Chain A
């Protein structure tokens, strides 16, 4: 295993457990804050004197409000659908393109790689208006496809480049051995290189999924009907009422919009960590 070994328990505490606890604590504190806010009664939220770290009167009212006041369940479904499909599209394209750019010798490799990358450079704050024209031309405004097909514009470049990086870390010789054994170019790619790139595929997938899950501007502009909205748009645009924030439901929405995803990710992360260890050892 890659895990280093340690000497004394004391040394392990200093070099490992203390940093770990610090890191986890700092990372999760804001999260803890969201949890507390989401179960705290409104009256307490506005009390400066109250201890902000816990509440004696927890309530599920805000969760209830979230579902009552908004179409949260529907938004969650939309977000999931959009994120899954656009991630699948981007991974598929990115995997093939990343392999081609990293492994194959052809004249246009360098300029094409740069071009794919450049599309990632133009900020969405500039792109969304002309992109709106494209969306209109295809007649997909206010449908999930408006964002499913536009998200890949920034997901594909990332997936391509990340996977390019992974393909570089896989020794060329492994593939060459297979070819000597009689595998065709494509077979070598599919049977040898792709499986070795699984960690890269998963981390690109996680990245793409999260970006789709979070995306704000395109979803704001291309989706209109309340039943088409995604979680970030729906929660943010309907629960921020001018100068009054609905803190409880806002934070409840943030929690419900992230915990299930974290659980799924943890499964993937474990999976690719073991998969990979096996691959390198084997």
Chain B
């Protein structure tokens, strides 16, 4: 990337924008905007900005974020703190911050959290609309998880996409030159692989990431859904039962039996240890392999989620930044997000992620990094097939509740453990009805 040239140019632009933001203050105190703009960064001295981020799966991403935050601090004369917490421990921090009205000014929002925490988040329509207009519009998924009612509650940052990581060498051995395109084909190939002691791997335990990456897309691709467009529970359907039957068969024929005990980290380990031949995951497996297990990286490629009778689906994780309603530094927070999401800043951060995330707008599909490593192409294309938890119903608190209660995951896990598919679907229906109320 033309980083160095870009950044200097940028600095000036950023500087202007920041001082522009401060004009409000300046005008109020009677100083003409132009004079203010020529002065050094103009937030009141001692202004602080506290940002709470997740610990990214890609270390370079955190580093770059921190660097950029520091740069903004210097430009705007703001004291910026970035706090990193692993994703599973963000919820209690957020809940406590909103309830006590104290804490970070900006907090990372994952999945459909903006719906969960909408009442504690400031509106960010201005910032979000500006980015969307400039960069060719947001993806639907991004819009759906970030817009509550008609208001943007989070400034979209990126999307975390999964795809199948698989061992090309082993797949070739059983006659699959490329990754199978349908679930049935994958099952045939997978069965051969498992016979050769190279099972596929999929988690069905309780963790935020991987188990849901099976439960949601597979349900959809067989035509099942938790609720319809109006939020009516329709999980107990012929389609869902088909998806369950398929999963149980797939489990027996193709998958590693460890999966019921797996969490998000297990398939990474198993894949890198060579005990499984394929698994659904973000690009993190591939990145670790490139760094530490180059032999495995060489024979690793990525494939799309297979198609089912109803099509191809991905469950995509939205990532965004919410500005807290209680924050006294909302203006600074807005300026920071506006500045950070602007192309010159976002570009190096996006590049540091190296294909682990997709940009929130179509603009970033054209980024050069996608050309550099063709193995990452499925990740680039995944958002086209991406849906949000609760699809096709509107995202809401209820969707989140179903997600965190692992209802779909447990529906599959129980079927795998021997519950009749019909009963599993009925169980899920009962649980979902308690949440959706109908």
Chain A contact residues, CB within 8 Å of chain B: 42-43, 46-48, 128-129, 132-133, 135-136, 141, 217, 220-221, 224-226, 236-238, 240-245
Contact = CB atoms under 8 A, between A and B. Distances in A.
Interface stretch (B9-17, B68-76, B273-281, B308-316): B273-281
Nearest to B296: A46
Nearest to B271: A46
Given A132-B99, A243-B210, A224 B83 contact: yes
Interface in B261-307: 264-265, 267-269, 272-275, 281-282, 284, 288, 292-293
8 contacts: A220-B93, A224-B93, A224-B104, A240-B86, A241-B57, A242-B56, A242-B87, A245-B265
B81 A221 contact: no
Contacts of B274: 48
B93 A242 contact: no
Given A135-B100, A241-B55, A244-B284, 5 more contacts: A129-B100, A237-B85, A242-B209, A243-B267, A245-B265
Contacts of B267: 243
A252 to B, nearest CB: 17
Interface string B89-129: 10011011001111110000000000000000000000000
Q: Which bucket holds chain B's interface residue count?
A: 35 or more
B221 to A, nearest CB: 23
Nearest to A222: B96
Contacts of B209: 242-243
B50 interface: yes
Contacts of B265: 243-245
B59 interface: yes
Contacts of B100: 129, 132-133, 135-136
Given A133-B99, A217-B92, A224-B104, A242 B264 contact: yes
A242 B104 contact: no
B346 interface: no
A168 to B, nearest CB: 39
B321 to A, nearest CB: 17
A37 to B, nearest CB: 13
B102 A141 contact: yes
B246 interface: no
A241 B59 contact: yes
Contacts, number: 93
Nearest to A129: B99
A282 B67 CA distance: 67
B207 to A, nearest CB: 9
B55 A237 contact: yes
A43 B102 CA distance: 44
B84 interface: yes
Given A221-B96, A241-B56, A242-B57, A47 B84 contact: no
A224 B210 CA distance: 28
Interface of B: 50, 52, 54-57, 59, 81, 83-89, 92-93, 95-96, 99-104, 209-210, 264-265, 267-269, 272-275, 281-282, 284, 288, 292-293
Contacts of A220: 85, 89, 92-93
Interface SS of A by simple majority: helix
Contact of B293 (A43, A133, A224, A240): A43
Contacts of B52: 224
Contacts of A133: 99-100
B294 to A, nearest CB: 11
A172 B275 CA distance: 67
B273 A46 contact: yes
A249 to B, nearest CB: 12
A-B CB proximity, top 4 nearest: A242-B57, A243-B264, A132-B100, A132-B96
Contacts of A217: 92
Given A217-B92, A238-B84, A224 B57 contact: no
Contacts of B103: 141, 224
B268 A243 contact: yes
B273 to A, nearest CB: 5
Contacts of B92: 128, 217, 220-221
A106 B104 CA distance: 49
Contacts of A48: 273-275
A200 to B, nearest CB: 35
Contacts of A237: 55, 84-86, 89
B93 A221 contact: yes
A141 B104 CA distance: 12
Nearest to A229: B83
A46 B293 contact: yes
A242 B292 contact: no
Given A243-B57, A244-B284, A226 B96 contact: no
Given A129-B95, A243-B265, A236 B86 contact: yes
Contacts of A135: 100
A124 to B, nearest CB: 11
A225 B81 CA distance: 8
Nearest to A125: B92
